[in-house]
Amino acid sequence: MENNIPREKIPSSILSKWGYSVLEEDGWTTVPNSLLMKQKELNLNNSELLLLIQILSFIHHADTEAYPSIATLSKRINQHPRTVQRTINSLEKKKILKKTIRSKSPKDVGKSNIYSVEPLIAKLQKMRQETI
C-alpha cells in the first residue's frame, strides 16, 4: 500500500521528529496527551487504550468516519477477534466510543461498524472544564 504523503503535507514538527521515510507511507495518528494522562480517570485499561488509539488511526480528518473491521483491529493489536469485540463493547459501556452498525439488513453481513470518538471528546472536554 503506497500512500506517499507529500512532504509539504506533513507538519514540520512531526517531520523533524520522525523523518519523512517513517511518515510518508502510513502517516501518523493524532492522540491528545490528555487521553494518555487521564487514562486512569477514564477507567481505561491498557487494552482499551491501545484499541482506542488504533481506531483513532483511521480518523484522518475532522469529518472522517472510522470503520476498521474487527479482523483488521485484531491483527493490528494481536488479539483474538472476540476479545476485540468485547473491548469495543466495554468502551461503549464506559461511554468512550459510539458504535453504529453499517449493515442495512440481516443479509448485509460482513460490513464493518462505524466508530465515533465524540463521547470521548466530550468526556475530555468536561474533565478540562472541571479543572479550570
pLDDT of residue 122: 96
Indicate the domain borders of the chain.
1-29, 31-131
Question: pLDDT for 75-84, tens place per residue?
Answer: 999 999 999 9
- The amino acid sitting at 12 is S
pLDDT of residue 65: 86
Q: Which CATH code is given to the segment(s) 31-131?
A: 1.10.10.10
pLDDT of residue 1: 44
Asked if 93 and 108 count as a contact pair (C-beta separation under 8 A), the reply is: no
pLDDT of residue 68: 94
6: CB partners within 8 A, 6+ apart: none
Q: Which residues of the chain are under the pLDDT cut of 70?
A: 1-3, 109-110
